[in-house]
Homo-oligomer: A and B are copies of this chain.
Amino acid sequence: MRDERKRMSRPVVSHHTTSDSFDNSEFDFISRIKQRAEAARASKTDGLVHGIGDDAAVLVGRNGRDSVITADLLVEDIDFRRTSPPFDIGYKALAVSLSDIAAMGARPLWTLLSLGLPQDIWDTPFATSISEGFLSAAREFGVTLIGGDVSRTPERIVLDSIVIGETRRGRAVLRSRARAGDHIFVTGTLGAAAAGLKLLERANHLRTRAARTRLISGLEELTRRQTHPTPRVECGALLGEGRLASAMIDLSDGLSSDLAHLCERSGVGALIQASRIPVAPLLKQADATNSSQVMRALKDDALNLALHGGEDFELLFTVRPRDAVRLPKRLGGVRLTRIGKVTDSSEGIKLSRNGRTEILQPSGFDHFKHAR
């Protein structure tokens, strides 16, 4: 889920920053579609647990389970560039949908891929590598490709990745169930994907391959966090199965934006401790291996990248105080960090930094518009 208003104002876009799930965004066009969808909803909604407005829809499933389903559309030159490794383009298309399923506390099982390919790469190793990346992610996370569509396109590569997962009946974790007093956690570390995007965009503006290589040298792990994200599949499923998370969302837009989405849906506020935010170590260590000007700027900006940078695909979730005690430090192979508390909605969403408390504006990738 990403905030459409901001993104539409950006002159250049990239790396999965303009796709927008049908969510709680106030953007006119999407909200109008949603209103119409409500009006068009058949009276027969038997079997529907939760429709538009979360990371995935929830349907009554088989044998005491619920099914969750999500679709993510990735378009060349909007969400990725053809300069990315084709394997990563395919891998990431599935990863972003797996992240949505994880954010529902569900376990992914099936996938469908609708793939649009232009004539110039049809039946080339480039196209094959896209499908291999997709299937590699499927293998890695135990999902089976059961269908989809392949079409030609006039110029651009298009991928729509659909994932179906399952939870035990009634166990899907929604965005809307956070309560004042809950603790706020994130998985992993933040900011690396946005820094990686910024590096790649800078590199794309350089004239020679040598200059591009020099810029990125030693920082491949950072750019990889952008092009090859790891969805928190096992952690998300365990948070759902163990009834540990009261509300959850995945970090696609960035902490400040996605926290705002969760708070809006739950009707709550939040207080985040800046000092507790797990800034990606890659950002802090970066100038040990690469002392370019852009990298120094990224390092100086590390907290902002962690607060507002998107596409880390970590999980942001809330935990009732009584459940926080049984929450392990690591879950599904990833570290869990408590970064704040849910407050009353009248408190708004705030950040405590250096002893001062300020309003935390959701700013997402907008931050980079000027820096680029």
Contact A19 B60 (CB under 8 A): no
Contact B57 A146 (CB under 8 A): yes
Can you tell how many copies of this chain the complex includes? Answer: 2
Contact A72 B8 (CB under 8 A): no
- Provide the A148-175 mask, 1 if CB < 8 A to any CB of B, else 0: 1111111110101010100000000000
Question: Pick the contact of A139 from B42, B78, B132 — CB < 8 Å?
Answer: B42
CA distance A41 to B109 in the complex (A): 11
Question: Pick the contact of A144 from B29, B42, B75 — CB < 8 Å?
Answer: B42
| Complex: chain B residue closest to A128, CB-CB | B32
Which has the most chain B C-beta neighbours within 10 Å: A62, A70, A75, A154? A62
Extra contacts besides A33-B150, A59-B62, A71-B162 (18): CB < 8 Å: A18-B152, A21-B150, A22-B149, A28-B123, A40-B135, A40-B145, A41-B144, A44-B144, A62-B62, A71-B147, A72-B149, A73-B149, A73-B158, A78-B152, A114-B160, A149-B160, A154-B155, A160-B160
A-B contact pairs, 24 of them (CB 8 A): A7-B152, A8-B119, A18-B151, A19-B150, A20-B149, A21-B150, A22-B150, A28-B123, A29-B122, A29-B123, A36-B135, A37-B144, A40-B144, A41-B145, A42-B144, A48-B110, A52-B147, A61-B61, A67-B67, A71-B114, A73-B150, A153-B158, A158-B158, A160-B160
